Structure 1
Amino acid sequence: MSEIVVYELDKPVATRSSAGSVSGGERRVRRVHAAPAAPGSRTVAGPRTLCGKDTFAMETARWEPSEQPGAPWYPAEHASVVCPECAAVIET
């Protein structure tokens, strides 16, 4: 697979510590997409996902399916939020 897995993240949610201070929020994965690699790179996503979304604000996953024989193209813990359009392109 020459695609790179990228995460579309929710907006940060502020969290309060036990001391009552507000800290930077955790960002949850909203959707998992696949994007072609940028020209000349194997680790940087191109400008658009396979479904056409802009990758600028997305986070690149540290997931490489080639390291996991027989594994799906996305991390198993995010199976419920895989982009169906990206999945359809990869499956064809």
Structure 2
Amino acid sequence: MAVITKFVVVREGVEKMTFTSKKEADAYDKMLDIADQLTPFLTESELELDENTCEKLSFYLAQHKEQLMSLLKGVAPKKETPPKKAANKAESKK
């Protein structure tokens, strides 16, 4: 018989997500805390967002907080350059 330890993130009596490590569960819980704090901030804005859209936007921003923080600091996002194809190299040698 196997023993499996699970970490469950619960909000307002509802199970949100289950993890196998405490670190992952804590990170998700923190992300939910950030989203909860962003929702009233966005609701009070002049954007006239409905409650559902506001919650979705808050969740998205919280999920991508590292990118958002870089953008707010004025750091340009890294552009991914597509890998060069072998065919292009062969054509350039001709």
Same fold by TM-score greater than 0.5: no
Structure showing the higher helix proportion among its residues: 2
Higher Cα Rg, which structure: 2
Q: What TM bracket, shorter-length normalisation?
A: under 0.3
Could you state the TM-score of these two structures normalised by the residue count of structure 2? 0.22
Q: TM-score, normalised by structure 1?
A: 0.22
By relative contact order (CA 8 Å, sep 6+), the higher-ranking structure is: 1
